[in-house]
Amino acid sequence: MVNLTIALDAMGGDNGPPVTIPAAIEALAANKSLKFLVFGDQYQINPFIQNTPKSVLDRLEIIHCTQSVSMDEKPSLALRQKPESSMRLALEAVKNGEAQACVSAGNTGALITIAYYVLKMLPGISRPALVTAMPSLSGHKTYLLDLGANVDVDELTLHQFALMGSVLAEAKGTPNHTKPRVGLLNVGEEEIKGSSKIKRAAKLINDDDEINYVGYVEGNDIFTERADVVVCDGYVGNVSLKACEGIAKLVVESIKEAVGKSWVSKLLAFLALPTLKKMYKRVNPDQYNGASLLGLRGIVIKSHGNASKDGFKYAIVEAVNEIEHKVPEAIGHRIAALNERS
């Protein structure tokens, strides 16, 4: 029985329908409870739904859109000049209650701006935060937020990030821990370190009994198991994420270069490169697909722009997960309770 309806922005991402539609069809085949409202250009979508079984096609409703937001479009212009874009209409479907979540691989800035405008924020939250899970060797996930949606934040916003990240990590499940452990990103673990804003945020988060605060964590702890949620402002989060992408690429290129210099090396390279590539994908935060926009009155999942079919499917699974765990409602309750306490 269909009880999960997701609005898909079929046109978003570097690839659009050739990736989003096959991913949607596979997701529908795998989950009989799922239905998609697919927003996009009917003529670009049609070639990818040929030969699809009726049992699947019945749960894939296409809503033809005449506009789409490009990857390098200025968010404010996308908002003003494209009221009929696939992204905008997918978000409006969530707003109108026709869908329970929106998934898009489109322009991040435009998605944040339009989601903010269409869906509005939960009471007491000022701006959406972008969060994603970072990898660790054991498979443990660390939720890092904010990843760039907010560059000017105060200690109250960092406190909200801690609460929202905690709700998300709890919804996703943190084995062995009843309550997600929340760390605040800082230059050192000692209490005396950090800017005055960070110290004020630490006090707020520490004083909140609803949060299992574990203190300051450092940059390298994003990839360890010290915390389930790591809180920082969008400037630090974005720069760190991209710096990690940069060094992960450098490591892989270095290895490729080093192993490519003799015939033994070439043999090694031939044998080892698939492994290295797989490892690269595993550790490249870019590939941890399906970042959530938190704090909105609705679920919005941002798939990476160059996500593969499997990557986009993973973003859909994230959306299903957040629907089932009623993440926005849970965040709304926690923030309302926080505001009552303070």
Structural tokens at position 228: 């389930």
Q: Quick check: 148 binds a copy of itself (CB under 8 A)?
A: yes
E-strand stretches of the chain: 4-9, 34-40, 60-64, 101-104, 129-134, 142-145, 181-185, 212-217, 229-231, 291-294, 299-302
Q: Are 297 and 94 in contact (CB under 8 A)?
A: no
Q: Quick check: 266 binds a copy of itself (CB under 8 A)?
A: no
Report the alpha-carbon angle 179-333-215, nearest 5.
35
Cβ closest to a copy of itself, residue 83 vs residue 188: 188
Among 238, 289, 292, 321, binds a copy of itself (CB under 8 A): 238
Among 44, 52, 223, 225, binds a copy of itself (CB under 8 A): 223
- Which residues sit opposite 130 in a β-bridge? 293
Q: Of the candidates 313, 309, 315, which has an alpha carbon nearest to the alpha carbon of residue 289?
A: 315
Burial-class residue 308 by CB neighbours within 10 Å (0-12, 13-18, 19+).
middle
φ/ψ (deg, to 5) at 262:
-140, 175
Q: Quick check: 71 binds a copy of itself (CB under 8 A)?
A: no
Q: Quick check: 253 binds a copy of itself (CB under 8 A)?
A: yes
Q: Are 204 and 159 in contact (CB under 8 A)?
A: yes
Q: How far is the CB of 25 from a copy of itself (least distance, A)?
A: 32
Q: What is the rounded CA–CA span in Å between residue 68 and residue 331?
A: 31
Among the residues of 37-154, which ranges form H helices?
42-45, 54-57, 75-81, 86-95, 108-119
Q: Quick check: 77 binds a copy of itself (CB under 8 A)?
A: no
Q: Quick check: 191 binds a copy of itself (CB under 8 A)?
A: no
Segment interacting with a copy of itself (CB under 8 A) among 47-55, 63-71, 163-171, 189-197? 189-197
Report the alpha-carbon angle 312-164-336, nearest 5.
135
Q: Are 8 and 37 in contact (CB under 8 A)?
A: yes
Segment interacting with a copy of itself (CB under 8 A) among 117-125, 167-175, 180-188, 301-309? 180-188
Alpha carbon 243 to its chain centroid, in Å, reads 18
Q: Quick check: 245 binds a copy of itself (CB under 8 A)?
A: yes
Segment interacting with a copy of itself (CB under 8 A) among 51-59, 84-92, 116-124, 148-156? 148-156
Q: How far is the CB of 49 from a copy of itself (least distance, A)?
A: 35
Among 251, 306, 317, 325, binds a copy of itself (CB under 8 A): 251
x/- letters, 306..335, toward a copy of itself (CB under 8 A): ------------------------------
Segment interacting with a copy of itself (CB under 8 A) among 21-29, 90-98, 261-269, 300-308? 261-269
Q: Are 309 and 14 in contact (CB under 8 A)?
A: no
Q: Quick check: 132 binds a copy of itself (CB under 8 A)?
A: no
Q: Quick check: 32 binds a copy of itself (CB under 8 A)?
A: no
Q: Quick check: 139 binds a copy of itself (CB under 8 A)?
A: no
Which residues contact a copy of itself (rule: CB under 8 A)?
A: 74, 109, 135-137, 148, 151-152, 185-188, 192-196, 198, 218-224, 232, 234-236, 238-255, 257-259, 264-265, 268, 271-272, 275-276, 278-280, 282-283
